[in-house]
A and B are shown apart, each in its own frame.
Chain A
């Protein structure tokens, strides 16, 4: 066997490789792009949930948009307050909200609510809501189709045995995707410090609610009367809790005859 037959291909390949690597080395040096250090720093501070709720493709694009001043840090709900503060320092901005929030489903209906008609379409809430506002007799009620569970990237939203949406607090990253996806708009952000919340969204009068839902707010106003801090007021037949005044005594939740006010 001729030694040259073995060596020649090896020599050719090696010389090609050397030429090519030299070209690449020169080009990458000459055409190098400087990446902004801030972007990397901010990206490491963001939650990394990549939920897309801010409207950007992921945390990296959001970080780029933040640095270029196109995005607002407040549109990210998933990042913790401490990290937001650090990001604000890097960006030299002060305008960001310091309230930690959690998402809750403000409906207690589900199987406790009557149906208007027999719905036989796609189970998705958005489809269901298109047919005369949904098949539930309550115009404000959870349809139980699981749109919130479908959009949730962190498996926090689910439909419970009562056929009501439920958000697992320990899994929720507060991205707000479900809040925007719910066609009934009954998923709401409340302060993370909240001890009680109103688990109904029906603004109708008591009798109308009583006829269709056994767990709906009948606007009796007991909660507003019992509250020692005057934190609860009845607005449009629905109690509203002022979380700045609420001390979390839980009296309203104990008094509520239809168990609408729920303790967290």
Chain B
């Protein structure tokens, strides 16, 4: 039951993009095609899941015993950067199509505040997460991110062919769409 609440919370109620407004750069940058957005979502989910485990373990078993919580941010960024590099090497090796499609946004996961956000939320003392719940939270935050990205990509694929007023064409309509989606996700608030 505890994990179910974490999952629902991570995917819908506290959706990283649409409720917490984190990770907007890839959300707007890679949401032009559904294929690419799914690839990006999987990459981010992978990084978030693994980063959650590593950062939580580092924090719980190294930093906390030594009273070094204040270097959390820099250590977490280091871990995330390495994981992104590993993800990049793996994707480049096994799917050059996905690698080309993600382009500059793949290294940008490093500075994706959603990834750092999930790492920092996992170690918030008031939440009292253990290693497993941190991992579940990380993976499903990534799933929530993917959901938002794919929904956005679906809508944007439609807006390309529809008759958008000239002043709103391109980026403005994407921002308005994101705003309306965010309002729609507000309906989940208070569920958990």
Chain A contact residues, CB within 8 Å of chain B = 8-9, 12-13, 16-17, 20, 23-24, 27-28, 31, 33
Of B62, B63, B86, the contact of A23 (CB 8 Å cutoff): B86
Q: Which of A16, A24, A33 touches B85 (beta carbons < 8 Å)? A: A24
Chain B residues within 8 Å of A8, by CB:
66, 68
Name B94's closest neighbour in chain A (CB-CB).
Answer: A31
Docked CA distance A12–B59 (Å): 12
Given contacts A8-B66, A9-B68, A24-B85, contact A16 B78 (CB under 8 A): yes
Query: 6 closest pairs, A vs B, by CB?
Result: A20-B82, A31-B93, A9-B71, A31-B89, A27-B89, A9-B68
Alpha-carbon separation in the docked complex, A27 to B85 (Å): 10
Tally of chain B residues near chain A (CB < 8 A): 18
Q: Dominant SS at the A interface?
A: helix
A-B pairs under 8 A by CB, number: 38
In the complex, A28 Cα to B63 Cα: how many Å? 29
- Tell me whether A23 and B82 are in contact (CB under 8 A): yes
Chain B 116-165 residues near chain A, CB threshold 8 A: none
CB-contact partner of B90 in A12, A16, A23, A31, under 8 A: A31
**B-side contacts of A27, CB under 8 Å:** 86, 89
B68 touches A20 (CB 8 A): no
B169 in the interface, Cβ–Cβ < 8 Å? no
**How distant is the Cα of A20 from the Cα of B50 in the complex, in angstroms?**
14
Contact with A along B54-84 (1 / 0, CB 8 A): 0000100011001010010011001100100
CB distance from B89 to the nearest CB of A (A): 5
Mask of B83-103 contacts with A, CB within 8 angstroms, 1/0? 001100110110010000000
5 contacts between A and B (CB under 8 A): A12-B66, A12-B71, A13-B71, A16-B75, A28-B89
Q: How far is the CA of A219 from the CA of B96 in the complex (A)?
A: 57
Which secondary structure dominates chain B's binding surface?
helix
CB nearest to B74 among chain A residues: A13
Contacts of A13 in B (CB 8 A): 71, 74-75, 78
Beyond contacts A13-B71, A13-B74, A20-B82: 9 other A-B pairs, Cβ-Cβ < 8 A, are: A9-B71, A12-B63, A12-B68, A12-B71, A13-B75, A16-B79, A24-B82, A27-B86, A31-B92
Give bound CA distance, A23 to B71, whole Å: 22
Chain B residues within 8 Å of A, Cβ to Cβ: 58, 62-63, 66, 68, 71, 74-75, 78-79, 82, 85-86, 89-90, 92-93, 96
Nearest A residue to B81, CB-CB: A20
Nearest CB on B from A78, distance (A): 22
Residues of chain A contacted by B78 (CB below 8 angstroms): 13, 16-17, 20
Please indicate the chain B residues that have their CB under 8 angstroms from the CB of A9 in the complex.
68, 71
The interface residues of chain B lying within 8 Å CB-to-CB of A33 are 92-93, 96
Identify the interface centre among B62, B68, B89: most chain A CB within 10 Å of its CB: B89
B109–chain A nearest beta-carbon distance, Å = 15
Q: Which A residues lie within 8 Å of B89 (CB)? A: 24, 27-28, 31
Chain B residue numbers with a CB within 8 Å of A28 are 89
Closest residue of A by beta carbon distance from B78: A16
Which of chain A's residues has its CB closest to B99's CB?
A33
Residues of chain B within 8 A (CB-CB) of A23 are 82, 86
**Which residues of chain A come closer than 8 Å to B66, judged between CB atoms?**
8, 12
Q: What CA separation (Å) do A20 and B54 show in the bound complex?
A: 12
Bound: A31/B74 CA distance, A? 28
| B73 smallest CB distance to A (angstroms) | 12
Instruction: Known A17-B78, A33-B92, A33-B93; judge A12-B62 contact (CB<8 A).
Output: yes
B164 to chain A: closest CB distance in Å?
13
Task: Tell me how far the C-beta of A116 lies from the nearest C-beta in chain B, rounded to whole angstroms.
Answer: 25
User: CA separation between A13 and B77, bound complex, in Å?
Assistant: 11
